[in-house]
Structure 1
Amino acid sequence: MANVYDKAQELKQAIAESDDFKELKSLHLQIDEDEIAKKMLNNFRQLQLDLQRKQMQGEQISEEEVQKAQQQFELVQQHELISKLMEAEQRLSVTIGDVNKVITEPLEEIYGNPDAQ
């Protein structure tokens, strides 16, 4: 029987060698070299984290905060490198989600499929 951890290492390597991962890594390096893009992205990510923290703590998010987040999102989407980065992140996220579904299929035999309920 194959060692699960060996297969996990193979999967890690396959992800690291995928075109989507290589593109994502390249875009991160490019953004790190562009001070404006780096600052814009960091500000946007910090705003996202702050809003998520508030939600998790049960705090109400104001209309002003929602508008600010929307404006920040529109701003970063206009920056070509950041927009490409977000697209690459989304593609890799879909891939990882798909892989997660595949590797958790054996558990459905025991627990059922929670998505189907």
Structure 2
Amino acid sequence: MSNIQESAQALEQAIRESEEFNNLKEAYEKVMNDEIAKKMFDDFRSTQIELQQKQMQGQEITEEEVEQARKVVETVQQHEAISHLMEEEQKVNEFINGISRTITKPLEELYAEHAE
């Protein structure tokens, strides 16, 4: 196995052990252990996935679907546990995006050199 692959596996383990990931995991488990929150969250995820699939297939999203999605989002944001989960998920996404920027920096620099 290459040194880079070993580093990637070490990074995976570090992410699993990070405070950010563990906070997300706790928030997720709290939602999953609350029957009402779990149903609301599942409905939210289903709506989100359905709209993403329509977009990827080039299908138009109707005003009615947009309005329904907005209502679902408003509802889940009012639930404290789900709102907290969404905040923690955003933190992990920002954390991972920062790692991704670091990893792709050699490519960006390479292309930037040749663009000048």
CA distance in 2, matches of 1:69, 1:14: 35
User: Which residue is equivalent to 2:84?
Assistant: 84
User: Which residue is equivalent to 2:43?
Assistant: 43
Equivalent pairs counted in the alignment come to: 113
Deviations for 1:29-73, whole angstroms, at most 9, x for unmatched residues?
A: 111111110110000110011111111111111111111100000
User: Which residue is equivalent to 1:10?
Assistant: 10
TM-score where L is the length of structure 1: 0.90
Q: Percent identity?
A: 50
Q: Shift of residue 112 of structure 1?
A: 3.1
Structure 1: any 5+ residue segments left out of the alignment? none
Secondary structure of the 1:112 match is: helix
* AA aligned opposite 1:54: K
User: Which residue is equivalent to 2:27?
Assistant: 27
User: Which residue is equivalent to 2:107?
Assistant: 107
Secondary structure of the 1:60 match is: coil
CA distance in 2, matches of 1:53, 1:112: 34
CA distance in 2, matches of 1:9, 1:59: 38
Deviations for 1:7-37, whole angstroms, at most 9, x for unmatched residues?
A: 1122112111111100111111111111110
Structure 2: any 5+ residue segments left out of the alignment? none
Q: Shift of residue 107 of structure 1?
A: 1.3
